[in-house]
Amino acid sequence: MISLQEYLAAGETTLSNLLVQNYTKLDLNTDEFMLWLQLYVAHQTGDDFPNLTNIAKTMGDTVEKTYSLLNSLVEKELVTLETTLDETGRQSDRYNLMPAFEKLSRLKEQQRFETEEKNDLAAQKKMLKSFEQEFGRPLSPIEYQKIGYWLNDDHYSPGLIELALQEAVLNQAYNFKYIETVLQSWEKKNIRSKVQVEEEQRRRKQILLQKEEQKQSEELPKVSLYNWLERKDPDA
């Protein structure tokens, strides 16, 4: 039975679950990934150019197969072999494992982009449906073109365009010119999100309320301050 001291003395290897969960998407098969992992373990212990013969024994493979796996890692640009010089000018070789992390980073960025693109497409469909519901008819080709211009040239989000539509509906202005004016007004104020739109609406409502209160105050009839109870009867 292994002792606690032996367990602790063997050290530990920390590796992100992202790599474990996505290694097949990096075009790695299980054998290739296990070799990469062995190289990573060696790197963690300070050995950047481990003996492949020893690794082959650890993996239970032949040296020939291990070298073949290494060549595959290099061809797939997941490992690079580099030669460096130390302060004395002595050459040393090392396996650079960073390309795998860089490829993983590009993969996650692509996945994030695809997710955002999918969500954006769903938002566009929802926005177009809202237009047809509020206008009570299918949109014309020119109207589709105008919305496309807002999305692709002005870079308004589908959500922001839908909020501008709601603003137009509240003001009973069922036309694209009004909606575009709202969008341009928001752009000048750097309003790009639903929260910012709601804040702007609250601000405008507060201003209108203050103006209404001021107007009502100005329209109140002036009441004379003359005290009629103190009027003196000239015949008294």
SS3 of 57-79: HHHCCCHHHHHHHHHHHHHCCCC
The architecture of the domain spanning 14-96 is Orthogonal Bundle (1.10)
Do 104 and 57 touch, CB atoms closer than 8 A?
A: no
The one-letter amino acid at 221: P
The architecture of the domain spanning 114-217 is Orthogonal Bundle (1.10)
pTM greater than 0.85: no
Model confidence at 198, pLDDT cuts 50, 70, 90, reads confident
The one-letter amino acid at 162: E
17-21, 114-118, 133-137, 172-176: the lowest-pLDDT one: 114-118
Q: What mean pLDDT is predicted for residues 91-117?
A: 91
Domain coordinates in residue numbering, the chain = 14-96, 114-217
Q: What mean pLDDT is predicted for residues 92-99?
A: 94
